[in-house]
Amino acid sequence: MDFLTNLHLYQDWALLALRLAVGAIFLAHGTQKFAMWKMKASEQMPSGMLSVMRVLSVAETAGGAALIVGFLTQSAGIGLGVIMLGAIWMKISKWKKKFTGDGGWELDLVLFASAALLACVGAGVISLDNVFFGI
């Protein structure tokens, strides 16, 4: 039982693991969206949606990179959390997706919760936030 009571000693390593995992997901998904910059508006992708996807390509890539290095982690967590709330809303209200299954929103919910945690708790000691800002 002593092991469980001392797990808090590893919280900075756990925050690093969470930042790396969530950051990698956003970095990968953001860079995939860069293809949208070459697309033209169409019936399937109206100009408004195309503009949103282009903004998301930059925001997700920058936010993911920020999480990986632990720089402006709380701000990145807030921004990525808002993006995930938008994704969840889109999947539920517009695309009528269920929680699980093909294109479900369960991963979006986990990413939102992870971003919310990082926004509230911060990056931990193993981060650039700690080096530059002492947080």
Q: How high is the pLDDT of residue 88?
A: 98
Q: How far is CA 100 from CA 48, 108, 109, 125, 132, in A?
A: 28, 11, 11, 35, 41
**Per the domain annotation, does 2 fall within a domain?**
no
Q: What is the pLDDT of residues 48-95, one digit of tens each?
A: 999 999 999 999 999 999 999 999 999 999 999 999 999 999 999 999
pLDDT band at 1 (very low <50, low <70, confident <90, very high): confident
When divided into structural domains, the chain yields a total of 1
> Residue written as tokens 């402006």?
72
Q: What are the φ/ψ torsions at residue 102 (nearest 5 degrees)? A: -60, 110
**Per the domain annotation, does 5 fall within a domain?**
no
**Per the domain annotation, does 99 fall within a domain?**
yes
**Per the domain annotation, does 9 fall within a domain?**
no
Please tell me the pTM assigned to this model. Answer: 0.93
* 134 has a pLDDT exceeding 90: yes
**Per the domain annotation, does 115 fall within a domain?**
yes
Residue 19 structural domain: 15-36+46-133
Q: What is the pLDDT of residues 93-133, one digit of tens each?
A: 999 999 999 999 999 999 999 999 999 999 999 999 999 99
